[in-house]
Amino acid sequence: MQVINQSAHTNKDGVLTITIPTDLSDTDVELVVVINPVNTAAGKKELSHEEILMLEERWEEYQKNPGASSSWEEVKKSISKKYGI
């Protein structure tokens, strides 16, 4: 089995055409294709459904008790103190 990571672009009709060279000749192969849209405006991949649900849950918890949260500066200071870094 060989894993190949490749980026590509769909055409205006939503068709994706890719060419994958292999060391195999005249051989049947099985392909597994995972298509993950990229947010090109930010240069980052889209959030998964699970990540969106997690963020929504955390936002709801924050809204219930905003005073229970810590700023990033407080978190860094706590980590530095705890681990001596």
Q: What is the pLDDT of residues 16-73, one digit of tens each?
A: 998 888 888 999 988 888 887 776 665 566 778 888 899 998 888 888 988 888 888 8
User: Helix, strand, coil: what percent of the chain each, to 5?
Assistant: 35, 5, 60
Please answer whether residues 85 and 79 qualify as being in contact, where contact means their C-beta atoms are separated by less than 8 angstroms. Answer: yes
Domain ranges of the chain: 1-79
Spatial separation of the C-alpha atoms in residues 53 and 5, rounded to whole Å: 27
Torsion (CA) 29, 30, 34, 40 in degrees, nearest 10: 10
pTM to 2 decimals?
0.38
Please answer whether residues 34 and 18 qualify as being in contact, where contact means their C-beta atoms are separated by less than 8 angstroms. Answer: no
